[in-house]
Structure 1
């Protein structure tokens, strides 16, 4: 029994039209992984160490978090930061 065509390197050489499909699929998987990794590392809602940093949202009290806004210039805008108490 023969496997699916285009899966092995030798059968991919017989069907070169599948190469762009594999390149686009690989690029999409890498970008999805990179975006998920960025959200896990850079997002202020995620904390990896609650002992040393119990309130990670306080790190962004004076930082600009919004990446792009066509309406407002956030470089000079400072919104009041809510104070959360238990």
Structure 2
């Protein structure tokens, strides 16, 4: 097997860097903005209860219009 030249490694390193960077950014988004993650258990032990029905927490909402949703659950 012949060694890859420098011109072939530059795009490979670029694509791997973009993929790893986007994975890190997505993990940070999940850790900071997901209602399932609680960083402060004393002041906010259940952050999912503070969401209103119009809050969009999914990364991509294809067919759901969150602005038109109504509350169908009891308040605690």
TM-score between the two structures when normalised by the length of structure 1:
0.67
How far apart, in 2, do the equivalents of 1:73 and 1:56 lie? 22
Q: Once the two structures are superposed, what CA deviation does each residue of 1:12-65 show, in whole Å capped at 9, x if it has no partner?
A: xx6222100000000100000000110000000000010011221122134322
Higher relative contact order, chain-length normalized (CA < 8 Å, sep 6+): 2
- Calculate the aligned-residue CA RMSD, in Å: 2.3
Aligned length: 72
Indicate which of 60, 63, 69 corresponds to 2:62.
69
Change (3 A) 1:82 1:25: farther
Runs of 5+ consecutive residues of structure 2 not aligned to the other structure: none
Runs of 5+ consecutive residues of structure 1 not aligned to the other structure: 7-13
Contact 2:53/2:70, CA 8 A, preserved across alignment: yes
